[in-house]
Amino acid sequence: MKEALFSIGEVAKLANISIKALRYYDQMGLFKPAYVDPETNYRYYHDSQLYHLDLIKSLRYIGTPLEEIKKAQELNRDELIAFLTEQENKVREQIEFLLDIEQTISIVKRRMMKQLEDDVNGEVYISNDEEMRIIRADAEGMTPLTLLNASYSKLIQYMELSLGFIHMSYGATFPFAAYGNVDEITYRHIFTPVLSDKQISTMTPDLEVITIPSGTYACISFIFSVEHYFDRLQKLFKYIDNHQFTVLSDIYEFFSPIHYSPRKQEEFLVEMKVRILEPSE
C-alpha cells in the first residue's frame, strides 16, 4: 500500500498549525518532512508521521518550551511519565502562585473598601476592627517631621521578596501620651500591613511580624495636611478623655495615597487608631 503524502499546506490544515510553525519545527528538528523535493524545495509529510504532532501540540499547550519538547521526544514511556510529573508540579506551583495573588488582591480590595466607608471628615468614630498582621521595624528615633518614604525601603523589599504584592499604606506607631505639640512625638515602630495569610518564615532579626488584635478602636481619619495633623490627634485624645476610655495600645497611624497619579497633587489619607476598653456602664 503506497503511503499518503501531504504537502505542508495540507498538514497545516489537517493539524491546525501555521505553515510558519511547521517550517520552524523542521528547522529545529522537531518535526521534519519525510521528503523534500530537490527541485522545488517543497516539503512533503507521510501520513504515518502526523501523530508526532500530538506530543508537540499537547506539550506546547501546557507551556513546555520547544527545546524541552525536543528532549521529551526521546523519552521512553517511563521517562515520559516522570517528565509529565515534573510538568504537573510546575503547573501546581503556578496555581499556588496565582491563588496567592488572588487572595492578596482580595485583601487589598477589602482594605480599600473599608477606607472608603470610613468617615474622613476629621471626626472621631468607634470601630470594631478585625485583627491585622503587620511587619514592623524599630523607628530609630524618627518623628512625624523626619520620617521618609525611603525609611520603609527595608520593610517594602522584605514584603516584596516574600509576598510579591506590596503594601499600599505606610504605618507608624507612637505611645499614647500627653503631647504639647508635634515636636514631642517620636515614633516607636514603623510598619506595613501584611497582605496575605501566607506564613512568613525567613525573618531578619530587625523585622518582626505581629498581629494588631481585633477589638474596639477609637479612630480618626482625615486628608493629610501639615496644619491639621496635630490638631486631629488632639481631637482623638480629647474624645478618649471625655469618654473615660481605657487605652490598651499605642497609636497606630496609617498613611495611604488617595490616588497614584503622578500628574496630580499628592494626597494622603491618614488614619489614627488606638485600642480602647469602653467603660462598663
> CB 257 → a copy of itself: shortest distance, Å?
6
Residues 10-29 that bind a copy of itself (CB under 8 A): 13-16, 29
Binding span for a copy of itself by CB under 8 A among 177-185, 210-218, 230-238, 258-266: 258-266
Beta carbon nearer to a copy of itself, 213 or 257: 257
* Those residues with Cβ within 8 angstroms of residue 250's Cβ, 6 or more apart along the chain or in another chain: 173, 174, 175, 176, 188, 189, 274
* Length of the chain, in residues: 281
Say whether residue 148 binds a copy of itself (CB under 8 A).
Answer: yes
Say whether residue 50 binds a copy of itself (CB under 8 A).
Answer: yes
Beta carbon nearer to a copy of itself, 1 or 178: 1
| Alpha carbons 21 and 24: distance in angstroms, whole number | 5
Beta carbon nearer to a copy of itself, 178 or 263: 263
Instruction: Check if the beta carbon of residue 170 is closer than 8 Å to that of residue 152.
Output: yes
- 19-28 helix and 8-15 helix, angle to the nearest 10 degrees: 110
| Alpha carbons 117 and 105: distance in angstroms, whole number | 18
50 vs 11, 55, 65, 77, CA distance in Å? 8, 10, 20, 19
Residues 163-182 that bind a copy of itself (CB under 8 A): 164-168, 170
> CB 86 → a copy of itself: shortest distance, Å?
10
Matching residue, cell 530609630: 140
Beta carbon nearer to a copy of itself, 150 or 178: 150
C-alpha cell at 189: 515602630
User: How many of the chain's residues bind a copy of itself (CB under 8 A)?
Assistant: 74
> CB 6 → a copy of itself: shortest distance, Å?
7
Residues 51-110 that bind a copy of itself (CB under 8 A): 51-52, 54-55, 57-58, 61-62, 72-78, 80-81, 84-85, 87-88, 91-92, 94-95, 98-99, 101-102, 105-106, 108-109
Beta carbon nearer to a copy of itself, 205 or 262: 262
| Alpha carbons 7 and 251: distance in angstroms, whole number | 76
> CB 213 → a copy of itself: shortest distance, Å?
26
Matching residue, cell 501531504: 6
